[in-house]
Structure 1
Amino acid sequence: RLWIMDADGANARELTHGDADTSPHFSPDGKTVAFVRGGNLYLLPLGGGEAQQLTKISTGVSDPLWSPDGKSIAFASDVYPECNADDACNQKIADRWSKGKLQAHMADSLLYRHWTEWRDGKVTHTLLVDVAAQKVRDVTPGKFDFPGFELGGPLQYAFSPDSSELAVASNHDPEPASSTNADLWLIDLKTPNAAPRNITAANRGYDDSPRYSPDGRTIAYRTQATPAYESALFRLAVYDRQSGTSRIVSGKFNDWIDDFRWMDPKTIVFTAPVEGNNPLYRLDVATGTFSKIYQHETIDAFEFAPLDNVFYIHRSVGQPPEIYGVSLNGSAASTQRKLSRVNDAVANEVDIRAAETMWVDGANGQKVQVYVVKPHGFDPAKKYPLILNVHGGPQSQFGDAFRADWQVYPGAGYVVACANPHGSTGRGQEYTAEISGDWGGAVFEDLMKVTDALEKLPYVDRNRMGAMGWSYGGYMMNWFEGHTDRFKAIAS
């Protein structure tokens, strides 16, 4: 269900009563909320009245985005390339596969399945619905994923401030699954069937997450310089719409830039993984200078509001996510204000364990960050079994962020330790890149030295240690199986 509250956190109330309403988005005039229900877009007038269905399509709706003029909404949908936005065509093909005599999945290229979801020849397209006419059109027809396949991350399309243009990220290489060459494509929305125009063709690496500046003169975006290397440093660049040229603006910032927003035409605010946290940074676009303006452990998402107010979702290992607000005043930030209390009941009922941080000397003489969560009812005079958890990626980080597994196992009496070995983000790109071509070496050395340090803790039972991990962490569990006998149990 969707909830709404006043900007100061007061008067929190249910906005909708559906069991699976998601992706709320205010209209530019603030009078209407668009949201997704049952795979379609709905509009709810905030002045009163029932939600009205805007789209009636079978291919689903995700990531709705209002145009600045409020006349249309862009969204992503998985369609058959021979159908585009023709829903009767899409439904006919889907029925043929689901109801036909042949019950099989067929594919002749990657990516044909993600986890348990089969694509069955579909591609993701950007569709546009006219709010008044309720007519849907495909602005990215053809065989390519447009936007490209993503495992999370910032939105891959954006409107220009005058609503006349849409920037979308897409990889048009012959084999996108083995390439990172996503580019930014501009689509003229005033011209029917306008061909997209590639503005980042000069970079053979990854370009994504377009954001137009408030004055419309430039487009900021994330970029990676190294082709076919998904773990290159994510930097910020801006494209000048008049000159048609791009330049890097994030200067010497040496960690991955995650989400970002224009604060004004001269300033960008962004988040980045840094030593287990996700602080807010301010970037001067002209000079490339940056400064940390706010840190509150893990900031999952943020949005600007008038008067330099920032609303964000924050969580830590010992605290479930809630909505907070802070005012940015020059180079400083006001004291954070907790605005929502959605998880207070759970937090008051359950013993949610916070994490302690330790640093261990690892491979190549570099420090390894380790989070340790002690068990429920912890008694320093007792010894407890240990679980060492290895993260996936491998280019990611364990952060000070609430997650279920860091609570379930301590609740069952285990000490849980989570390390950020070589290959992790948040320690500079050199630390991240050192895992390339060496998935077992430095990382394994790091984790063995972390284990050495953990088993010396007075409350850890060195005879009852286990290890677990998934994705790359699962790879490392298999490496453990062949290279050490220190663990009584290993889960891959």
Structure 2
Amino acid sequence: MSAPASAFHDLDHYVALPRVSGLTLSPDGSRLVTTVATLNRKGTGYASALWELDPTGERPAHRITRSSKGEAGAAFGVDGALYFTSSRPDPEGEEDEAATALWHIPAQGGEARVVLSRAGGISGVFCAENADRVVVTGGLLPGAGSEEEHATLRKRRKDAGVDAILHSSYPIRYWDHDLGPEVPHVFSVQRGPSPRPGADESGDTEGEARSPLPGTTDRAPEMHLRLLTGGTFPALHDPSPIIAPDGTFALLPVTIPEARASLREGIARVDLATGDRQTLFDQEGQEASPGPISPDGTRAVVVVGRTTSPTEPPQPRLQLMDTTSGELAPLAPDWELWATPMAWLPDASAVLVLADSDGRRPVFRVDVANGEVTQLTHDDAAWSELAVSPDGTTAYGVRSSYLFPPEVVRLDLASGEVTRLPGPVDRPTIPGRLEEVETTTADGARVRGWLALPQDRPGPEGHPLLLWIHGGPLGSWNAWTWRWNPWLMTARGYAVLLPDPALSTGYGQDFIQRGWGAWGDAPYTDLMAITDAVEARADIDASRTAAMGGSFGGYMANWVAGHTDRFKAVVTHASLWGLDAFGSTTDAAFYWQREMTQEMSGKHSPHLYVDQIVSPMLVIHGDKDYRVPIGEGLRLWYELLSRSGRPAEPDGSTVHRFLYFPHENHWILAPQHAKVWYAVVLAFLAEHVLGEEPEALPEVLGLVAPQKDEA
């Protein structure tokens, strides 16, 4: 069998492509570590390994961990030791239940060893830059006052076969998992043996937790845990502590309850030695998230914005926060882009931030003294994971674009020169080319996007076109995606349009305001306007087009289906259908209640236009999707077959299809399911857009292949 022209011509090859993510830099700037996910032997998942890269770019990357379970969450200690989390077996342990433990590789190298394990596992590890301070996160049962009690309660639940959870507050689930009964907490890792039961170093049992290291040897020092966020500490939804460089304190995002089951985000400070805490930000009508702390620990860059309303979208802005008093001072207050602060320069003169901008996500330098913003990178790429060298001359980051997946690069902060470092993964061959397109709408707005085109010249009629609508809706098509990859489509002859309509980020506040609370208006007309412009090209066949989208993009695909018959097919994934019911069932109902009034939801709900749908629709939904619950997909499917302009026939047959994944969430993550997803989508498009005979679907679906007449 001959090899495919590219990995994108064969789904088996595509899902086997290694995937780079994350970046951490050692305190002395001599070592970079990233994570590479590769397909497991069964082809049913990915296992991550840690790889080290040479910051100078002189030596090739090399792998430093290896296990079938994989590793994640790499962080360097001040002494150069590398910490990470993994659920792989501990050769010296005696755990009955596999749990994610804290592992350690000494700075001088050697075998990775478990330094701390606990019932229920460890979810993350964080280290101070200039001090011997290690912090971890993990779950703790509310009734437990110590690690021993926590382990006992977990065992009782398991032995009794009980998984019931009693809630007294909102929310009760998130994304694809139930919240509780364990509550997220932050712990300080203490060196030395665990204190005797019933007393910690201060003699106070409240807030103390410990975990004796199983299988301790003289080469793996014993450690234990001290609970930092117990008692009356505000709720932590997804604890990601920002640790001061000197290791004395950390800033934490905290969840603040409000009336009518609403929530908003604030900032708390916790002393990492004593556990003393104070709330630095708790303002009604405002939300905040912590960012990096200055080298001297006196200030932090935080993002502060108003809580949304039906008429007011988010408007996040950079602020400098005094880490003792919580006092705020605006930083670049007139800059409209939504920035994410990443790192201070060592001399504290400026902060490096990332922000969506015109279909890219560049690196910007923000001067702390005067708020002046300077764009440092000008490549057609989206950056993430930024770290600064100790001398302040260089930054390292992960970037991607639609022409290449994530890769580690070096940025000269003086010249802006970007150098790709020798990494663990080669760039795949792209079966096509990329162009930038734009148009001006009837109301004078500029709408732009990316157009992925096949490598081969089109036939006389032009390439068939797929309109892909991004989710969010506050987002932008600017970075590589494994879940919605246009090159799998160009490999089969399609052109793929990736537009940024109203509500997209990177075009200023007014562009977001155009679509706020009115999803069916400007976002829809923007999409149709740029589709018109692309269909007018000589290399595009306007008679063979389809619309596709997921999440908000799925909502818009449903809206498109009910408002035009121009598309030969519509693919709607994890989509909102009935806005009258959706708001109370999503995992963050309070946010939805802020965003739309009942009148707005009624006016812009796709289900009201089901009788006008005539395009064949492929509905896709995962049962573990708590962001857009499965009820949306079930209702859409029933109403499509019973009430649409193209309902099911009397014998039950229909042109529509419903692809259902019982164990997937908002995204289709398992590689074997990703292959099914793409195979079914391609077969559906081939039939209805290209007019071809129905393709044989994957045998794993349990379907009988269509019989062909013999010559």
Q: Distance in 1 between matches of 2:546 and 2:467?
A: 6
Residue 476 of structure 1 deviates from its aligned partner by 0.9
2:371 is aligned to 288
Q: Structure 1 residues 164, 372: closer, same or farther in 2, change over 3 A? A: same
Secondary structure (helix, strand or coil) at the match of 2:257 reads coil
Q: Distance in 2 between matches of 1:171 and 1:189?
A: 20
Q: Structure 1 residues 107, 132: closer, same or farther in 2, change over 3 A? A: same
Letter in 1 for 2:127: W
For residues 26-175 of structure 1, what are the structure 2 equivalents within 5 Å? 26-30=76-80, 32-38=81-87, 39-83=100-144, 86-98=146-158, 100=160, 107=167, 109-133=169-193, 134-142=223-231, 146-149=235-238, 156-174=240-258
* CA displacement, residues 165-198 of structure 1 (integer Å, 9 cap, x when unaligned): 121110121469733x21111112332x52x211
Give the stretch that moved more between structures: 466-475 or 68-77. Answer: 68-77
Q: Structure 1 residues 175, 14: closer, same or farther in 2, change over 3 A? A: farther
Cα RMSD, aligned residues only: 2.6
For residues 15-414 of structure 1, what are the structure 2 equivalents within 5 Å? 15-19=64-68, 20-30=70-80, 32-38=81-87, 39-83=100-144, 86-98=146-158, 100=160, 107=167, 109-133=169-193, 134-142=223-231, 146-149=235-238, 156-174=240-258, 178-179=262-263, 181-191=264-274, 193-194=275-276, 196-202=277-283, 204-226=285-307, 231-241=313-323, 244-263=326-345, 264-296=347-379, 297-307=381-391, 308-329=393-414, 332-333=415-416, 335-344=417-426, 347=428, 350-362=429-441, 364-379=443-458, 381=460, 383-401=462-480, 403=482, 405-414=485-494
Letter in 1 for 2:76: F
Letter in 2 for 1:386: L
Q: Distance in 2 between matches of 1:476 and 1:147?
A: 33
1:455 is aligned to 535
Q: Are 1:40 and 1:56, in contact at CA under 8 Å, matched by a contact in 2?
A: yes
Q: Higher strand fraction: Structure 1 or Structure 2? A: 1
Q: Are 2:365 and 2:376, in contact at CA under 8 Å, matched by a contact in 1?
A: yes
Residue 96 of structure 1 deviates from its aligned partner by 4.9
- TM-score under structure 1 length normalisation: 0.89
Q: Distance in 1 between matches of 2:154 and 2:559?
A: 42
Q: Are 1:310 and 1:325, in contact at CA under 8 Å, matched by a contact in 2?
A: yes
Q: Percent identity?
A: 25
Q: Distance in 1 between matches of 2:403 and 2:230?
A: 46
Residue 114 of structure 1 deviates from its aligned partner by 2.9
* CA displacement, residues 431-472 of structure 1 (integer Å, 9 cap, x when unaligned): 113222111111111111122112212222222211111111
Structure whose alpha-carbon radius of gyration is higher: 2
1:478 is the counterpart of 2:561: no
Q: Are 1:123 and 1:145, in contact at CA under 8 Å, matched by a contact in 2?
A: no
Q: Distance in 1 between matches of 2:140 and 2:456?
A: 52
For residues 421-432 of structure 1, what are the structure 2 equivalents within 5 Å? 421-432=501-512
2:616 is aligned to none
1:3 is aligned to 51
For structure 2, the residue ranges without an aligned partner over 5 or more in a row are 1-48, 88-99, 194-222, 573-711
Q: Structure 1 residues 218, 45: closer, same or farther in 2, change over 3 A? A: same
Q: Distance in 1 between matches of 2:503 and 2:319?
A: 24
Q: Distance in 2 between matches of 1:371 and 1:455?
A: 14
Secondary structure (helix, strand or coil) at the match of 1:454 reads helix
Q: Structure 1 residues 201, 49: closer, same or farther in 2, change over 3 A? A: same
Q: Distance in 2 between matches of 1:115 and 1:479?
A: 24
The number of residue pairs the alignment matches comes to 476
Q: Distance in 2 between matches of 1:175 and 1:98?
A: 35
Q: Structure 1 residues 200, 227: closer, same or farther in 2, change over 3 A? A: farther
Letter in 2 for 1:137: R
Q: Distance in 2 between matches of 1:352 and 1:81?
A: 53
Q: Are 2:548 and 2:571, in contact at CA under 8 Å, matched by a contact in 1?
A: yes
Q: Are 2:248 and 2:272, in contact at CA under 8 Å, matched by a contact in 1?
A: yes
Give the stretch that moved more between structures: 368-377 or 270-279. Answer: 368-377
Secondary structure (helix, strand or coil) at the match of 1:303 reads strand
Q: Distance in 1 between matches of 2:156 and 2:455?
A: 54
For structure 1, the residue ranges without an aligned partner over 5 or more in a row are 150-154
Q: Are 2:292 and 2:341, in contact at CA under 8 Å, matched by a contact in 1?
A: no
Q: Structure 1 residues 226, 382: closer, same or farther in 2, change over 3 A? A: same
Q: Distance in 2 between matches of 1:175 and 1:343?
A: 50
Which gives a bigger RCO, structure 1 or 2 (Cα 8 Å, sep 6+)?
2
Q: Structure 1 residues 468, 96: closer, same or farther in 2, change over 3 A? A: farther
